[in-house]
Amino acid sequence: MQPDSLTVESGLEALESSTDFHGTVEPLDGLDDIETCEHIALFYRNRDERFATVAPFIWQGIEQGERVMYVIDDLPQSAILAELRTGDVDVDAALDTGQLTFHSLDETYLRSGRFDADDMLEVYADAIEEAKAEYPGLRVTANTNFILDEHATLEEFMAYESRVNTLFEGEDCIALCHYDCNRIPPEILVDVIRTHPHLIYDETVCHNFYYTPPEEFFQPDEPIRDVERMLNTLVDRSQARAQLKETVEELEESNDRLKRFAYVASHDLQEPLRMISSYLQLLESRYAPELDEEASEYIEFAVDGSDRMREMVNGLLAYSRIDMEEAEFESVDCDDVVDAMLSDLQIQISETDATIVFDPLPAVDGDAKQLEQLFSNLVSNAIKYSGDDPPHVEISGERHGNRCLFSVRDNGIGIEDEYVDQIFEIFNRLHANDEFPGTGIGLSLCQKIVSHHGGDIWVDSEPGTGTTFSFTLPRAR
Ligand code: ADP
């Protein structure tokens, strides 16, 4: 077993990657002055807030095959289990094998009738030893409401909390303690803040500059250290905010420059391109009788190339226009958008014998022209990338709260998993032009339009069976 592979980073990663924890996880990198240790305090104000953190923490432990210990306090085991069963992780299987265990206060904190720090540290030391024999690490989570019931003096408990940090040092062990902010008085919470290097409050994981290492916690020079810490925190926060503002301004400026560059370049390239195409055509029509077969073929290639380049430049211009033009959003009836799109694609549809089906679609808040382009690119791709059968395309859309979720599903050739991330990149294509003609701009334009509307777009595909593009848009106000 590698020493200390179960680190605070891995615990925080559980929160960062969980869809149940919606908050911010402050990165640890760059925080040189802060001591890290595998002991996290959660300050919660209600049950939802509590399990949005506790559940992913436990699920990650189970998934990683670790030993998971839950010390029960205010809620019965059945209520905790009900919360833990809401995820994809098989909590009951972990219970059956003994990987996940629940412990009462009488077996742990109050083993000898009242709280005794030495006793509890022994419980954890034993648990660490036991876990080591069978598991890659030990993950503990405990509620702390019992400290309110005068089972322990505050000093005793805080001294214990700071000793836990030392106990876990160098061990594959991580603990998450939950503190009920509504019930635990502020004078206790202040000490909780000082004894936990990592805190979670208001859906934000903070690395705690107020943390006081155990060896300092009860020392006479502690107030001086506290002042130092508070001042350093203020300075650090102010410097970070100022630096962030500067960086955002720089990025905004450079982003604006890039957008203008793409727009001007694509706009200004059109004229010389038009000249190349027209003179090539002139050459072809006027001098055709004097040219040998090879020369005519060269001209044909050149015309072909300039046509393709014009399509690309037009695509790039359409792409950069979305950034440059401030569109006024309004309520847009997606049924009208799809009707307009279908009449534009009429030739492609009848030439390929494609069927397009759709149910009534919800109205969204957006720019009708851009949305027509979005549906048109997706449906035209669905027809273009069809397999041997005639294309069958289903468009659907439904409201989900403030958003509408749309999908365009086809029965075409599909996309291999490994290429799924690449297809939204501008000019990225998976096929040669003689196989499927195109410029590689369509999907990047779709992505830009959707993100301009504050939505997301993604793809699910099965090679040989078909592809579904899904996207979200804001519902009409
Ligand atoms: P283009 O179609 O001009 O190549 P896009 O940006 O529209 O450019 O698409 C990028 C790539 O994604 C295409 O080259 C194609 O390989 C793949 N693709 C897009 N839509 C589909 C689809 N419905 N089915 C299968 N592959 C698709």
Q: What is the 3-state secondary structure (H, E, C) of 418-436?
A: HHCCCCCCCCCCCCCCCCC
Pocket test of ligand 1: the residue of 309, 415, 416, 428 to mutate, having most ligand atoms within 8 Å of its CB, is: 415
105 lines ligand 1 (CB under 6 A): no
| Residue-level pLDDT at 7 | 65
Q: How far is the CA of 390 from the centre of ligand 1 (A)?
A: 18
| Residue-level pLDDT at 71 | 94
Q: Which two tokens stand for residue 443?
A: 């999907």
Task: Please report where in the chains the tokens 């305090």 appear, as a residue.
Answer: 41
385 lines ligand 1 (CB under 6 A): yes
312 lines ligand 1 (CB under 6 A): no
| Residue-level pLDDT at 113 | 82
Q: Which residues of 241-272 are buried (b: 16+ CB within 10 A; e: fewer)?
A: eeeeeeeeeeeeeeeeeebeebbeebeebeee
Q: Which two tokens stand for residue 379?
A: 């449906």
Question: Could you identify the atom of ligand 1 that is nearest to the CA of residue 410?
Answer: 23
Pocket test of ligand 1: the residue of 308, 312, 385 to mutate, having most ligand atoms within 8 Å of its CB, is: 385
11 lines ligand 1 (CB under 6 A): no
Give every residue of the chain whose pLDDT is below 70, as ranges: 1-11, 19-20, 22-23, 27-37, 150-151, 214-215, 217-218, 221-222
Backbone CA torsion sign across 460, 454, 439, 427: negative
319 lines ligand 1 (CB under 6 A): no
- Report helix angle 186-195 to 154-168, nearest 10: 20
| Residue-level pLDDT at 29 | 60
DSSP assignment of 42-53: EEESSHHHHHHH
318-344 tens-digit pLDDT: 998 888 877 789 999 999 999 999 999
SS3 54: helix
315 lines ligand 1 (CB under 6 A): no
Which of 306, 247, 260, 264 shows the shortest CA–CA distance to 282?
Answer: 306
Pocket test of ligand 1: the residue of 381, 394, 413, 467 to mutate, having most ligand atoms within 8 Å of its CB, is: 381
391 lines ligand 1 (CB under 6 A): no
410 lines ligand 1 (CB under 6 A): yes
- Structural domain boundaries in the chain: 8-218, 219-326, 327-474
413 lines ligand 1 (CB under 6 A): yes
Which of 205, 262, 187 shows the shortest CA–CA distance to 445?
Answer: 262
Domain boundaries 327-474, corresponding CATH code: 3.30.565.10
Backbone CA torsion sign across 313, 315, 317, 320: negative
- Report helix angle 117-134 to 154-168, nearest 10: 30
Question: Could you identify the atom of ligand 1 that is nearest to the CA of residue 412?
Answer: 24
Domain boundaries 8-218, corresponding CATH code: 3.40.50.300
| Residue-level pLDDT at 208 | 79
Give the predicted TM-score (pTM) of the model.
0.63
Strands 330-333 and 363-366: antiparallel
Residue type at 422 in one-letter notation: Q
| Residue-level pLDDT at 101 | 96
137 lines ligand 1 (CB under 6 A): no
- Residues ≥6 apart with Cβ < 8 Å to 57: 11, 14, 15, 139, 141, 176
40 lines ligand 1 (CB under 6 A): no
Count CB-CB contacts under 10 A for residue 368.
18
SS3 89: coil
Question: Could you identify the atom of ligand 1 that is nearest to the CA of residue 414?
Answer: 25
SS3 398: strand
Backbone angles phi and psi of 265, in degrees to 5: -60, -50
Give dist(CA 239, CA 245) in Å, integer: 10
68 lines ligand 1 (CB under 6 A): no
Q: How far is the CA of 429 from the centre of ligand 1 (A)?
A: 7
Residue whose CA is closest, atom 12 of ligand 1?
A: 423
Residue whose CA is closest, atom 13 of ligand 1?
A: 429
Q: How far is the CA of 466 from the centre of ligand 1 (A)?
A: 12
Q: What is the CATH T-level fold of the domain 219-326, as seen in this structure?
A: Helix Hairpins (1.10.287)
- Residues ≥6 apart with Cβ < 8 Å to 239: none
CA angle 208, 212, 216 (to 5 degrees): 170
